[in-house]
Amino acid sequence: MQWKTIFVKEMLEDWRNFKWIWVPLVFILIAIMDPLTTYYMPKILDAVGGLPDGTVFEIPDVSPVAAMMMSLSEMSMFGVVVIVAITMGVIAGERRSGVAELVLVKPVSYLTYITSKWAEKLVLVWISFIIGMFASWYYVNLLFGEISFSAFLQVLFFYGLWLSLVVTITIFFNTLFKVPGLVLFVTIATIIMMSIINQVFSHVLIWFPNNMSSHIGGMLDGNHVSGDLWGTAFVTIEVIILLIIASLFSFRGKEMAN
């Protein structure tokens, strides 16, 4: 009951400040940017004056899989930044402004408060991500060649898990700090650290969440879901659950009026 109340209020807030409009639009942009510019590069070059005569410039053929992976690669940069930016203030902002003092003086459990806000942001992120990737899938099929719908759904599911982890990390830092800008900085720093760890130890930490997209690439190439992809998905879900529990404990230790 209280859970639904906060969830609905968050939905309404994101509607009134237009997040439900601009976040899906930005995700469409992020998803189609790279495949489209790659496809139209020869025409763009021509339009801006072309290459000097005699230049041999082979534009490699891009496979449909490579084109779709381009979308994911942009997601992992700009998509992540957008997600952190729209989530950085959900709890920290309310505590900083003082609204939390009015809300949490009502008999609301901290678990309800945290998870309802978390769930609402997940819904916003998933829907925006799905819309964006549909646009990407459409152009990839049109311009580069076919990717089956079932493979596309698998991409959505597994990569969506990684984005859910990004939301959860941001929520976790929301419970630690009460300055949204600091939440943004620390979350991005953490994700960059994870990416460095992933690059250095990728041969050992095969199921590390940041490995998700490379396993997804493997899945699209080989046309089946590998055990490593399932393993990575499993680890990601585990980390999400642990982070939610950690958020609860971190929030409990806080005094709301400080």
Partner 1 sequence: MSVIKVNELTKTFDKKDVVKALNFELNPGKCVALLGPNGAGKTTTLRMLSGLLNPSRGSVTFEGMKENGDIREHIGYLPQYPVFHNWMSGKEFLIYVGQLANLPKKQASDQANSLLKRVGIADAGNRRIGKYSGGMKQRLGIAQAMIHKPNLIILDEPVSSLDPIGRREVLNLMEELKEQTTILFSTHILSDAEEVSDDLLLMHQGEIVESGSIESLRTKHQTAKINLTFGDSNDNYLSSLKSIPSVNESLIERNEIQLLVDDIDQARKDILLKVSQENLPLTKFEISRTSLEDLFMKVVKN
8-state DSSP, 210: G
- The span from the CA of 173 to the CA of 183, in Å, is 6
- The span from the CA of 163 to the CA of 161, in Å, is 5
- The span from the CA of 28 to the CA of 148, in Å, is 20
Q: Choose among 169, 195, 196, 163: nearest CA to 184.
A: 169
Question: Segment contacting partner 1 (CB under 8 A): 1-9, 20-28, 46-54, 191-199?
Answer: 1-9
**Nearest to partner 1 of 116, 232 (CB atom):** 116
Q: How far is the CB of 192 from partner 1 (least distance, A)?
A: 33
Query: What is the x/- site pattern for partner 1, positions 15-54, by CB under 8 A?
Result: -xx-------------------------------------
- The span from the CA of 80 to the CA of 62, in Å, is 25
The answer to whether residue 103 forms part of the interface with partner 1 (CB under 8 A) is: yes
- The span from the CA of 157 to the CA of 126, in Å, is 9
Q: How many CB atoms lie within 10 A of CB 28?
A: 17
Q: How far is the CB of 186 from partner 1 (least distance, A)?
A: 24
**Nearest to partner 1 of 44, 105 (CB atom):** 105
Is the Cα torsion angle 222, 155, 73, 180 positive or negative in sign?
negative
**Nearest to partner 1 of 3, 185 (CB atom):** 3
The answer to whether residue 81 forms part of the interface with partner 1 (CB under 8 A) is: no
Under rule CB under 8 A, which residues in 2-21 are in contact with partner 1? 2, 5-6, 9, 13, 16-17
The answer to whether residue 102 forms part of the interface with partner 1 (CB under 8 A) is: yes
Q: Are residues 158 and 215 in contact, defined by beta-carbon separation less than 8 angstroms? A: yes
**Nearest to partner 1 of 59, 257 (CB atom):** 257
Q: What is the contact surface with partner 1 in residues (CB under 8 A)?
A: 1-2, 5-6, 9, 13, 16-17, 97-99, 101-108, 255-258
